[in-house]
Structures are given as C-alpha cells and as structure tokens.
Structure 1
C-alpha cells in the first residue's frame, strides 16, 4: 500500500502589535525643556529639562 502525503499545516504567529502613539507634547522623549531666566532684566541663560506632565515621562500618548 502506498503512503499518502499529508498537507503540512502552517503555523502563523499573531500579528505584531502596533507601536503606541507618541505623546504630542514631548514627542515621545518623556522630557520637556524650559528656558531658565535670571537677573533683574530676566535674561535667558539656558534650558532646564524636566519630566513631561502630559505623559508622566513614559513618552506614550495618554488615554482619554
């Protein structure tokens, strides 16, 4: 009796999850910069970076 070939089954993995949307305020970095002003005339000296309050530093867009 001749052997019959069975069709091979294809195993498909789950489709990749889409990347989370980036925060519009910090553009996904998690940090924002503010200008530091000093002196009586309030001249700009430099920038200071801090935590993004919109996404709390995660870089992902917050869910509404």
Structure 2
C-alpha cells in the first residue's frame, strides 16, 4: 500500500497594519505647485504663480496615486 501524503497549510498571516501613504512628490501634499510665468517673444521668465498639482489634482490629500 502506498504511503499517504499529508499537506500542511501555511499559517494564516495576521492583517498588516495600514501603511500611511507617501506624500505627493511635486507638491508635498499641499495641492499647489509653482508654475513659471513667461512673457515676451523670447519667452523670458518673469515670476511664478500657484497652480494645481496634476499628480493629485489639487486635492491636497497628499497621496500619490501611483504608489
């Protein structure tokens, strides 16, 4: 008679602790980024203005959707 195989199940792993998402790289979680304003025929920079972060769409949640 053949030997009987016994298969053991791996132990159930505990539920991992929720990991806090990493802040968005371009805006650092503020939702705003500085955009350079250019004027003139040669497009010289004259200053900066606030713009929405396109990575998190200005939500200010500070979470990067890619991570």
The answer to whether the superposition gives a TM-score over 0.5 is yes
The CA distance in 2 between the partners of 1:42 and 1:22, in whole Å, is 33
* Structure 1 unmatched runs, 5+: 1-16
SS at match of 1:45: strand
Q: Which runs of 4+ in 1 moved over 6 A?
A: none
TM-score with structure 2 setting the length: 0.56
* Structure 2 unmatched runs, 5+: 1-17
Aligned CA-pair RMSD: 2.0
Q: In the TM superposition, what is the alpha-carbon distance from 1:18 to its structure 2 partner?
A: 5.5
* Residue in structure 2 matched with residue 8 of structure 1 by the alignment: none
